[in-house]
Amino acid sequence: MKVVEAFNKGTPSLSFEFFPPKTTEQEAKLFEAIDRLKKFDPNFVSVTYGAMGRTREKTFFWVGEIKNKHGVEPVAHLTCVAATKDDIARQLNELAKIGVENILALRGDPPAGEKDFVPPANGFRLAKELIAFIKQTKPGFCVGAAGFPETHPAAPSVYKDTEFLKEKVEAGAEYIITQLFFDNRRYFEFVGRCEKAGITVPIIPGLMPITNLHQIKKMTETCGATLPGELLEKLEKHPADTAKIGAEHTLAQAKGLLKSGVKGLHFFVMNQAEPISQILSELKK
List of residues 6+ apart from 193 with CB closer than 8 A: 158, 162
Residue among 17, 129, 174, 248 flagged as catalytic: 17
DSSP 118: -
CA-to-CA dists, residue 19 to 56, 192, 270, angstroms? 12, 30, 6
- Sign of dihedral through CA atoms 145, 151, 155, 161? positive
Torsion of the alpha carbons at 187, 191, 194 and 196, rounded to the nearest 10: -130
3-state SS class at 61: helix
Helix (H), strand (E) at residue 276: helix 273-284
Is 233 considered catalytic here?
no
- Write phi, then psi, for 206 (nearest 5 degrees): -105, 125
- Mode of pairing for the β-strands spanning 264-268 and 44-47: unpaired
Q: Which residues are catalytic?
A: 17
